[in-house]
Amino acid sequence: MGKAKEQGFSAEKIESYDIHGFWVRIWKLLEPSHKQIGRLLAVTFCLELMRLVGPYILKLIIDLVTNFSAAEASLMLAYVAGMFLANQATSLLAFLQDKKIFKILVDVEVYLYSDAFKKMMSLSLGYHEKENTGNKITKIQRGLTKIDELLGNFFWEVAPTSLQLIFTAITLFVIDWRFGLVIVVFAIVFVLLTIGINKAVYPFRKARFKMEEEASGNMTQAIININAVKSFVQEEREIGFFGMIRDKIRKQILFEFGKILRQNLKRNLVIDSGRAFILISGMYLIYQGNITIGTMVFVYTISEKALLSLYRISRLYDRIMESAEAVDRLYYLSLEESDIKNPKHGLKPKSLRGEIEFKGVDFAYADSSLKALDGVNLKIQSDCVTALAGPSGGGKTTVVRMVYRHYDPTSGEVLLDGKNIKDYDLKGFRKFMAIVPQDVEIFSASIRDNISYAKPHATDREIRAAARVANAEEFIAQFPEGYDTLAGERGIKLSGGQRQRIGIARAILADPRILIFDEATSSLDSYSEKLIQDAMDKICKNRTVILIAHRLSTIRKADKIIVLEKGKVIESGSHHELAKLDGGLYQKLLQLQQMGDVD
């Protein structure tokens, strides 16, 4: 450990790795394949038994040849025929084994990927905001890759070899207890050495996996934000930082596997000693007349296979332990619980009025000691336009997240149509809502697919109608491929105003009862803002609309304006009422914007 610290390696203080718990976790992850695995192990059991038949028949042939007589020629031919049939039976069982292994591996890959993606989709927004995107993807991909490798190694190598060792030891004890004792003793010493080295390197493996996730996370962030990287000429910085992390990983790998390779010298010594003891024991027993030359050949053949298998198992065990940390991360991801609990028998309304009320709502984000909402009481009337105004960090977006139930209050309650929002089925009430955020999420797909995301089975007529209302058709028609134009990753081929109008068209197509605009025009030019403002005016009728805006000019027509500051409701009323409120925050913000001091 001292050496590790000198070289700058970080190893967590872990006494030992719970290998039994690891196999229990793997078994739980593979629950859908339990029956298939049971049948595979039965075939493997028969196969490894059959593998002993050929060498045993060879022993009988050698004994016949040693004391050959013409009268036993037919018996020798029968042995040869028996050996041929045994080998063919072994080949058939091996074919069945391979077929079952491939079936299991393919099935496991399909359902584990599906389960992991399903888990990601089910976790709350809070989990996704605190976990780096690259880390999440790496965690899933590495875990699934390692499980695939582990299962292949286990089914093709570890299980057959372990059974082979057991059958070999039993056979050797039957022939002569001394042979059996040699195999058992050296096998135990070998296994203890293997377990010992893997316990020693496990903390370093865990540290390495964390570094690899960090490297992947940084790569993902740099690529996602490539526009900022290039705009601020930070390519060399990003390359240097990534290279520094990879260099740490390289040193960690060399240190880790250096320890394993040095331990291999001890394991080789155990194998060679086992061979020597088998040969010495065999020669002694032949000299004593206790065994025949054929028996000696049989003993050496199966013991050599067993000792080589033992070494192979140790290498596979090293690789299994290499997989352990990645598999554990995937397993613990499968146990992650969403912060937002969906009630089992939640309300699934057929329609909503869209009335929203906050009663004494407090809320603080997990990584902050400050309250994002502090004793908030407010009411949003149905079929009205309610605007949320105030300085940045006042709690406006947090209010919207509470309405969507992306987060739950730490105290107080949010009511939807007079009922606690926690009593509703999540999908049951969210399907009546739509949001147009400041930065509209655009998928790497066609414009048609992006608009229809809220309603996948929408007709072409419905999509075009939504685009017209959103004032999006004017720019879509200018593309050679029209609605089939690919938007590019995160909508990179579209301008900010174009992305916003696609977002509005998507919201229109959803036909929501509650429609939310979160800073929908804050970063646009005057022309784009005018088009989007016109689109908003068209679709705000007969809905509950929530507007969040810094530009107070965009919320003048709202039926009600609620002003928030530092998580508290400071004022509420119409634009005219608040504009006349002397000393009020809204009046101050309005004056500053009219003077041009703030946007």
DSSP label of 155: I
Task: Classify residue 409: in a domain, yes or no.
Answer: yes
Reported as type and span, the H/E element at residue 392 is none
> What is the per-residue pLDDT for 13?
38
Reading the block at residue 36, the tokens are 């298939």
DSSP H or E run through 9: none
Q: Which residues face 387 on adjacent strands?
A: 547, 561
Residues 154 and 274 reside in one and the same domain: yes
501 and 517 share a domain?
no
> How far apart, in Å, do the first and last CA atoms of the chain sit?
58
Residues 331, 218, single domain; the answer is yes
The torsion region of residue 354 among left (phi > 0), alpha (psi -120 to 50) and beta comes to left
CATH of the domain at 306: 1.20.1560.10
CA 158 centroid distance within chain:
27
Judge whether 160 lies within some domain: yes
- Which residue in 435, 533, 527, 445 sits closest to 492, CA to CA? 445
Residue 526 has what pLDDT?
63
Pick the closest to residue 335 from 21, 32, 25 (CA basis): 25
Helix (H, G, I), strand (E, B) or coil at 525: coil
pLDDT at position 499, please? Answer: 86
DSSP, residue by residue, 294-356: HHHHHHHHHHHHHHHHHHHHHHHHHHHHHHHHHHHHHHHHHH---SSPPPTT-B--S-----E
Q: Does residue 517 share a domain with residue 408?
A: yes
Q: How many CA atoms lie within 13 A of 343 on its CB side?
A: 13
- What's the confidence (pLDDT) of residue 8? 39
| Residue 385 sits in the same domain as residue 239 | no
**What's the domain count of the chain?**
3
- The first and second tokens of residue 126, run together, are 């809070």
* Residue 282 and residue 353 in one domain: no
CB-based contacts of 365, cutoff 8 Å, min separation 6: 372
Same domain, 455 and 428: no
Q: Residue 312: exposed, middle, or buried by beta-carbon count in 10 A (0-12, 13-18, 19+)? A: middle
Q: Are 50 and 171 members of one domain?
A: yes
Domain termination site, one of 335, 366, 388: 335
Measured CA to CA, the distance from residue 42 to residue 259 in angstroms comes to 37
Q: Which of 335, 355, 378 is the last residue of a domain?
A: 335
Report the 10 Å Cβ neighbour count for 130.
10
Full-prediction pTM beyond 0.85? no
- Rounded Cα gap, residues 589 and 12, in angstroms: 52
- The answer to whether position 474 is within a domain reads yes
Same domain, residue pair 217 and 105 = yes
Per-residue model confidence (pLDDT) at position 29: 85
Q: Are residues 328 and 351 in the same domain?
A: no
**Which residue reads 């989709």 in tokens?**
121
Among the candidates 335, 357, 373, a domain finishes at 335
CA distance 294 to 296: 5
Task: Give the burial string for 404-425 (b: 16+ CB within 10 Å, else e).
Answer: bbbbbbeebebebbeeebbebb
CA distance 418 to 119: 32
Hey, what long-range contacts does 567-572 have (CB within 8 A, 24 or more apart)? 567/363, 567/370, 567/371, 567/372, 567/373, 567/374, 567/376, 567/394, 567/395, 567/398, 568/374, 568/375, 568/376, 568/395, 569/376, 569/377, 569/378, 570/390, 572/378
Task: Print the domain residue range for 327.
Answer: 18-335
Give yes or no: residues 263 and 177 share one domain: yes
350 domain-assigned: yes
Q: How far is residue 257's CA from residue 198's CA, in Å, rounded to a whole number?
A: 10
CATH number for the domain harbouring residue 501: 3.40.50.300
Which residue is it, tokens 């888990």? 119
Q: Are residues 316 and 451 in the same domain?
A: no
DSSP state at residue 499? H
Beta-carbon contacts of 19 under 8 Å, excluding residues fewer than 6 positions away, are 195, 321, 324
Written as six digits, the tokens of 544 are 């509950």
pLDDT of residue 521: 62
Predicted local distance difference test score (pLDDT) of residue 95: 93
- Outline where 480-525 has alpha helix (H): 496-510
592 within a domain of the structure (yes/no) = yes
Are 400 and 387 contacting, i.e. CB atoms less than 8 angstroms apart? no
Please check whether residue 2 lies inside any domain of the structure. Answer: no
Taking a C-beta distance cutoff of 8 angstroms, is the pair 526, 543 a contact? no
**530 located within any domain:** no
φ, ψ of residue 515 to 5 degrees: the values are -120, 130
Q: Is residue 534 situated within a structural domain?
A: no
pLDDT tens sequence for the chain (599 residues): 334 333 333 344 334 556 677 788 888 888 899 999 999 999 999 998 888 888 888 888 887 777 767 777 788 888 889 889 988 999 999 999 999 999 998 998 888 888 888 888 888 777 777 766 666 777 788 788 888 888 888 888 788 888 888 888 888 888 888 888 888 888 888 888 877 777 777 777 777 877 877 787 788 778 777 767 776 677 888 888 888 888 888 888 888 777 777 777 888 888 888 888 888 888 888 888 888 888 888 888 888 877 777 777 776 776 777 677 777 778 887 787 878 888 888 899 998 999 999 999 999 887 777 889 999 999 999 889 899 988 888 888 899 999 989 889 999 999 999 999 999 998 889 889 888 887 888 888 888 998 988 888 889 999 998 888 888 888 888 888 888 888 877 777 888 778 888 888 888 888 889 998 887 665 555 666 676 677 677 777 788 999 887 777 778 888 899 999 889 999 999 888 888 888 788 888 888 776 554 44
All residues at 6 or more sequence positions from 24 whose CB lies less than 8 Å from its CB, including other chains: none
Token pair recorded at residue 587: 């009046």
Residues 6+ apart with CB under 8 A from 84: none
* Residue with tokens 């947090």, as numbered in its chain: 398
CA–CA separation, 191 and 267 (whole Å): 9
pLDDT at position 415, please?
Answer: 94
SS3 (DSSP) at 290: coil
